[in-house]
Structure 1
Amino acid sequence: MWGLRKFRIIILFYFSIFSVESIEVKLPTVLISVLARNKAHTLPYFLSLLERLHYPKNRISLRIRSDHNIDKTAEILQKWVNSIDTLYHSVDLKIIDDESYTDESGPSHWSQFRFDHVISLREDALNHARNIWADYLLAIDCDVFLTNPDTLLYLVSKNLQIVAPMLRSDGLYSNFWYGMTEDYYYLRTDEYKPVYNREKQGCFHVPMVHTCVLIDLRNHESDRLTYVQENLKNYNGPHDDIITFAISANKSGIEMHLCNEYQFGFLTTPLEEFDTLIYDYHQLKNIKLEVLSYGEPLFVNELLEEFTSIPEKDTLGFDKIYMINLRRRPERRKRMMHCFDELGLDVSVLDAVDGKALNETALKRISFLPNYSDPYHKRPMTFGEIGCFLSHYQIWKEIVENNYQSVLVLEDDIRFEPFFRPKVINLMQELKELGNWDLVYFGRKRLQDVDEPWIPGSKYLVKVGYSYWTLGYVLSFQGAKKLLDADPLSRLLPVDEYLPILFDKHPTEKWKIHFPKRDLIAFSVAPLLVFPTHYTGEKGYISDTEDSGIIANESKDEL
C-alpha cells in the first residue's frame, strides 16, 4: 500500500550547465510514547505489531513508562527493550515498582492520584518530543493492535496536524468521537456508524481522537497543545487528559482527523471501575477472534510468544461439538481451528459431503420433494444444497447412534459473538432448567418481520419463526430423532427449508403437507451467538451451496 517511495522528494535543478539531480529526503522523526499498566496479556501482541511497523527504526525514538503493576508487564517490557535497544534511534524505559495507588479501589479504578499521574506522563511525553525536536509524537496505548504495518507511514503521509487511524473493537467502541456535548462529553451522532462501519471512507474532521494519535510538532500552533488543564486560560471542562487535549487543540485552531480508508487495527474497550483483569483477558480473546474474521491470527513474535497462552479445551458440557467443513476449503478449516484454540473448544471436524463430487450412484438413495422450487431463484435444488443437507443428516445420525443428549453443530464460515463461552454456559444452564427442547439456533437469518415471543421464564430464548441458515445450532437426542424419523431423504429439500417445516413455522403449505408430523420444539438464542463471516455481495463472500450446479429436472420430481 504505502512505501518509502511516497516520501521521496525529487528536487530538480534546471541550469544550462548542470544535469538533473535527485535528493532523497529522510522520513520525519517520530517519538512513540507508550504507557503500560497491568497489560501483560496485551503487550506481547502490541509490542510485536509495533516492532513490525514499516517505518525506519532509526527515525523512531521510544519512550515507555510503566508503573503499579501486579502482573508480568515489567518483565515483558524489559525483555523486549533488551532485544530491540540498538534498532531504534533511542529507547527510554522507566518502570516504577509500586503495585497500587493509595486512593484506588482496584486495578481498573481511575482514582484522582492515577488520573493526575497519567496526565503528567502524557504531558511529559509531549514536552520531551518537543525538546528532542521530534517531528511527530505518536501517543499510543498498549491495548491497541496495529495489524496494518503501514499505519505509521500512512498517517505521516496525510500531512495532518492531529490524525488517528480508525480502530475497531468487538462492538461499536472506537478511538474517536463524532460529536461532543456543550460540556465536552461524548455525544453519539448519526454520522458515527457509517464511519465506523467504513460505509463512508476518508479522513474526517472530528471533535475527538484518542488512544492512538499522531501529532505533528513542526508547526508553531502545536506548542499550545497540552494535556494539563492549568495550561489553558478559562478552562471549564472536566479533569480528563483526552478532553483537555481536545480543547487545547480547538483553542489553538488545530483540527483533529480520523482516517478509515484502510483497515488499520483493533483496540479493547476501557475497563469500568470494578472490572477485574480477568474481564480484560476476555476482551483480548474477543479481539483475537475478531481479527480472525479478517484473516490471519493476531501476530506475536517468537521472543514474546512465551507470555501468551491458550486455554485448555473442553466441549462446554455438550456430548460433542461438530464443525462441518469441505476438504477443498482448508483455509476455512485453519481459521476455525484457530478460533477453537482461542475459545478452548474441543471440536470434531466432519468432512462435508461435497456437492460437486456427487454422482448418480450417490443420488440413487435420494428422492426430491415434488414441485420444489427455490423461493428466490425459482430453480431446483443445487448439488451444493444436497451436500449441505447430507452433511447435517450425517451428524443427526451420529447423535442417535451414540445416544448423545446434546450436540453443538457449527459451520465453517462463522464468527463468534463476544464472550461466547460464558454466554453458552449460561444458555445451557437455562435449557437444563426449562427441560423440554429439541433445537436451539445459535445463528440464523429471520425471514419474517413478526414478533418472536420470549420463552416464559427465559432470559436468553425466543420462540423461533421462519428462519434460514444453519450457521450454528444445538440439537438434542430427541430433536435428532425427530429429524430422522420424518424421513427427509425420501422428499428432500434444502435444510434451511426443512427445519422450519419440522417446527411448523414454514409458510408454504404445499411443502408442509409432505411432513404431517411437525412437532420439533425449536427456540433461538437472543441475541445470536454466531454470525456469518461475510454476507451476500461482500468482498470475500463464497457460497458452496449456491455456486454449484442444479439437479436435472427429471430428478426433481422423483419420489
Structure 2
Amino acid sequence: MIVMLVRNKEPYLPYTLTQLSELDYPKERLALWIHSDHNEDRSAELLAAWLAEYRPLYRSVHAVLNTTSPPLRPDESSAIDMSEGRYRDVIKLKEDALTAARRIWADFVWFLDADVILHEAAVLRQLIEMRKPVVAPMLRTHGAYSNFWAGMDDNFYYRRTEEYGQIYGSKKRGCFSVPMVHSCVLVNLLSTRSDGLTFVREKLPAPIGPTSDDVITFALSARQAGMEMHVCNQRDFGQMPIPLRSPEVLGKEWLNIVNIKLEMMVDHPPPPVASVLRPFVPDPPEKTKLGFDHIYMIGLARRPDRRRRMLLAFDELGIDAETVDAVDGRQLNDSALAELGVAMLRDYRDPINDRRLTFGEIGCFLSHHRVWSDMVAHGYERIIVFEDDLRFASYFHYRLERLMAEVDALNLDWDLIYLGRKIMRTDEEWVAGAQRLVHPSYTYWTLAYALTRRGAEKLLKEEPLGKMIAVDEYLPIMFGQHPNTGWAAQFSGAGSLLAYSASPLLVTPIKYTGEPGYVSDTEDAGTIGAELEGTCSVDGCPTPAN
C-alpha cells in the first residue's frame, strides 16, 4: 500500500503522481491511501483529476480530498507552521494508514511524501529487493539535507556525524543502518516485529521522545521493535526539497521544483507529466537576457545531449541565449591552425600535465575568442558566456540578480566577473563592502562569466591566437594573477583586466574529474605538433611524440 498525505503540493504533484502511474509494478497489486486537506492551492483538484483517470487500475483506493477545510488550522500562523495541531493530525493520519495497511494484509506499506521526485520507475522493486525491514532510498536536495539521520542524541534529536557526510556524499555506497529515515520509507509488514511500529508515542512499549513528532516516534518504535532502519545510496534514486521554514512562503515551492528538475536533467531525462495533469503545469517563464545585452552558450555540435539539456534548462530559467557551435578540436590539425595564424606561446607547457596544448584546448580558446569578437562587432556592452557542461546553482536567476545589484550598488568598475570557475586558493579577498564578490586568485575553467565590451577589447587587443595558451591560463594572466611571470611578460596588457568572481559561485561543472560520466573534450584530445611552436625558446622545441 502506498500512503501519501498532501497539502499545498501543487508544484510537485504533476510529477509525483505521474511517477506513481509509471511505476514498474503491477497496479492491480497496489493499494492507495491518499489524504489531502487545508490547501491554499490546487492540490485537491490535481489529485481528483489524476484519480479520475487512474483509480480503476489499482487494487483499492482510499482517497479523502477535503476541499472545505480552511487554509489554516486554528493554531497555525502560516501554511508552513509545524504547530501542535498539525503534528497531531499528521500522526493520526499516518497511524490510520498503517492500520489500514495491516487490515488489508498488505505485504509492504510505502510512506511517500508528495514532493519526492524519483528518478527511476523501478524504485519500488529495487527497495523490495533490498530485503530490509524498514528502508529508504537516499534522496538529495540542493543543500546537505536528506531523508535520514546518521545520528540521534540522547534527547532524540539530530546529531551531526561524520558518517552522514560519507553516505550523503556517496563516499561509501550500500545500505546503512541509521537511527531514522523519513519522506520515502518502505516498511515490510511481513515481519511479526512490524506489529510494534507506531506513530503514536503513547503506544510505544517504553514511551520516550517528544510528545508530538511522527517521524521520531516511528523511528523509536522501530528501534524498540527490533526493526533496523536502513538508508541506501547505491543509485541516484531521487530528490526532495528542503522543507520551508518561516519566514519563507509557499511560493518558494515553485522555485524548488525548478531546482529539482534542473538537477534531475544532469543525468536523467526531464520528469514526465501524464496528459491528464498537463493543464496544471504552468507555461515556461518568458525568456529574457537577464539584464544583459546578449547571452552566448558555447557547445560542441557533436554533444547533442549536453545542448539539449542546456536548452531545457534555459526554458526552465527563462534565459534567452544564442547557441554557438564550439570549434571542435577533432576537426583541427596542424595545417588548419597554421592557416588560422595560430602559434603557441613561447615555452608553454601545461602546468599540470607537462604537455603541449591539445586540439581540444585550442578549439575551446577559439570558441571563446569568436564570442569576444562577435560581442565587439555587435557593440554589446555586457554579455554572459555559458559553456554547455555546467549545472546551475539553486535559485540561479535570483542569485544573479542580487549579484549584479551589488555590482551596481558598489559602482564597481569591472571587465569580467566569473560565475563559475575552479577556485585554486581559499584565502581570496572580499571586495570592499561586498557580500557576493571576491577578488579571484589564479583560477581554472571558463564555465560561465559576465564580460564587458571593454574587457573583450582588452582580451582581443593582445592578439592571443599568435601566442596561444589555454583560455583559463590566459584570463588569469590578463587580470594579473598568474604565477608564471615569464608567460605573463609576453602580454603587454597583462594585469589590465579588472576581474572579480561571484562568491558563492552560480554554476559548477556537471561532473568532476573521476566521477562516473565525466568526459573532457579539451583534455582527452591529441596535442599539437612541434611545427606550430614557432616561438619556442632558444633551447629548442620538445620532440613531438610519435
Corresponding position: 1:145 with 2:123? no
Give the distance between the partners of 2:133 and 2:112, measured in 1 at CA. 16
Give the distance between the partners of 2:213 and 2:82, measured in 1 at CA. 11
Shift of 1:273: 3.1
Give the distance between the partners of 1:32 and 1:416, measured in 2 at CA. 33
Corresponding position: 1:106 with 2:106? no
Q: Secondary structure at the match of 1:324?
A: strand
Q: Paired residue for 2:372?
A: 396
Q: Paired residue for 1:64?
A: 34
Tell which deviates more after alignment, 47-56 or 59-68: 47-56
Q: Paired residue for 1:231?
A: 203
Shift of 1:402: 2.0
Q: Paired residue for 2:525?
A: 548
Give the distance between the partners of 2:141 and 2:326, measured in 1 at CA. 33
1:510-542 alpha-carbon deviations (Å, 9 max, x no partner): 111101222111111111111111111222111
Could you tell me which amino acid in structure 1 is paired with residue 107 of structure 2? D
Matches within 5 A, 1:43-122: 43-97=13-67, 98=69, 99-122=71-94
Give the distance between the partners of 1:443 and 1:386, measured in 2 at CA. 20
Corresponding position: 1:503 with 2:487? no
Q: Is the 8 A contact 1:442 1:530 kept in 2?
A: yes
Q: Paired residue for 1:326?
A: 300
1:2-32 alpha-carbon deviations (Å, 9 max, x no partner): xxxxxxxxxxxxxxxxxxxxxxxxxxxxx10
Give the distance between the partners of 2:327 and 2:172, measured in 1 at CA. 41
Shift of 1:79: 0.7
Corresponding position: 1:439 with 2:408? no
Q: Is the 8 A contact 2:119 2:268 kept in 1?
A: no
Q: Paired residue for 1:124?
A: 96
Q: Is the 8 A contact 2:28 2:58 kept in 1?
A: yes
Q: Paired residue for 2:188?
A: 216
Shift of 1:200: 1.0
1:343-370 alpha-carbon deviations (Å, 9 max, x no partner): 1111111111112223524532222211
Q: Is the 8 A contact 1:462 1:526 kept in 2?
A: yes
Among residues 341, 363, 366, which one is paired with 2:315 in the alignment? 341
Matches within 5 A, 1:472-483: 472-483=448-459
Shift of 1:450: 5.5
Could you tell me which amino acid in structure 2 is paired with residue 279 of structure 1? K
Q: Is the 8 A contact 1:106 1:274 kept in 2?
A: no
Q: Paired residue for 2:509?
A: 532
The alignment's TM-score, normalised by the length of structure 1, stands at 0.92
Matches within 5 A, 1:173-212: 173-212=145-184
Q: Paired residue for 1:41?
A: 11
Give the distance between the partners of 2:246 and 2:83, measured in 1 at CA. 9
Shift of 1:485: 1.2
The alignment's TM-score, normalised by the length of structure 2, stands at 0.94
Give the distance between the partners of 2:157 and 2:314, measured in 1 at CA. 39
Give the distance between the partners of 2:168 and 2:310, measured in 1 at CA. 26
Give the distance between the partners of 1:118 and 1:341, measured in 2 at CA. 37
Q: Is the 8 A contact 1:110 1:273 kept in 2?
A: no
Among residues 202, 217, 221, which one is paired with 1:244 in the alignment? 217
Superposition RMSD in Å: 1.4
Give the distance between the partners of 1:363 and 1:423, measured in 2 at CA. 43
Tell which deviates more after alignment, 397-406 or 518-527: 397-406
Q: Secondary structure at the match of 1:258?
A: strand
Give the distance between the partners of 1:35 and 1:343, measured in 2 at CA. 29
Q: Secondary structure at the match of 2:57?
A: coil
Corresponding position: 1:384 with 2:357? no
Give the distance between the partners of 1:552 and 1:253, measured in 2 at CA. 68
Could you tell me which amino acid in structure 1 is paired with residue 78 of structure 2? G
Give the distance between the partners of 2:62 and 2:257, measured in 1 at CA. 27
Matches within 5 A, 1:268-279: 268-279=241-252
Give the distance between the partners of 2:108 and 2:421, measured in 1 at CA. 48
Aligned pair count reads 528
Q: Paired residue for 1:291?
A: 264
Among residues 429, 436, 448, which one is paired with 1:453 in the alignment? 429
Shift of 1:270: 1.0
Give the distance between the partners of 1:475 and 1:274, measured in 2 at CA. 36
Among residues 481, 486, 494, which one is paired with 2:470 in the alignment? 494
Q: Secondary structure at the match of 1:86?
A: helix
Give the distance between the partners of 1:351 and 1:159, measured in 2 at CA. 49
Q: Secondary structure at the match of 1:293?
A: helix
1:174-212 alpha-carbon deviations (Å, 9 max, x no partner): 111000010000112000111112221111110000001
Q: Secondary structure at the match of 1:284?
A: helix
Give the distance between the partners of 1:223 and 1:537, measured in 2 at CA. 46
Give the distance between the partners of 1:367 and 1:46, measured in 2 at CA. 55
Could you tell me which amino acid in structure 1 is paired with residue 61 of structure 2? V
Could you tell me which amino acid in structure 1 is paired with residue 236 of structure 2? Q
Q: Secondary structure at the match of 1:48?
A: helix
Q: Secondary structure at the match of 1:277?
A: coil
Give the distance between the partners of 1:156 and 1:544, measured in 2 at CA. 40
Q: Is the 8 A contact 2:205 2:224 kept in 1?
A: no
Give the distance between the partners of 2:265 and 2:392, measured in 1 at CA. 10
Q: Is the 8 A contact 2:338 2:532 kept in 1?
A: no
Could you tell me which amino acid in structure 2 is paired with residue 93 of structure 1? A
Shift of 1:234: 4.6
Q: Paired residue for 1:423?
A: 399
Q: Paired residue for 2:542?
A: none
Q: Secondary structure at the match of 1:191?
A: helix
Give the distance between the partners of 1:342 and 1:445, measured in 2 at CA. 26
Give the distance between the partners of 2:487 and 2:242, measured in 1 at CA. 48
Could you tell me which amino acid in structure 1 is paired with residue 262 of structure 2? L
Q: Paired residue for 2:325?
A: 351
Shift of 1:233: 4.6
Which residues of structure 2 form unaligned runs of 5+?
A: 537-546
Q: Is the 8 A contact 1:225 1:248 kept in 2?
A: yes
Q: Secondary structure at the match of 2:386?
A: strand
Q: Paired residue for 1:11?
A: none
Tell which deviates more after alignment, 311-320 or 273-282: 273-282
Q: Is the 8 A contact 1:162 1:257 kept in 2?
A: yes
Q: Paired residue for 1:9?
A: none
Tell which deviates more after alignment, 421-430 or 92-101: 92-101
Shift of 1:303: 2.1
Give the distance between the partners of 2:336 and 2:98, measured in 1 at CA. 74
Q: Secondary structure at the match of 1:180?
A: coil
Corresponding position: 1:267 with 2:253? no
Which residues of structure 1 form unaligned runs of 5+?
A: 1-30
1:458-511 alpha-carbon deviations (Å, 9 max, x no partner): 010111000110001111111111111122122111101100000111011111
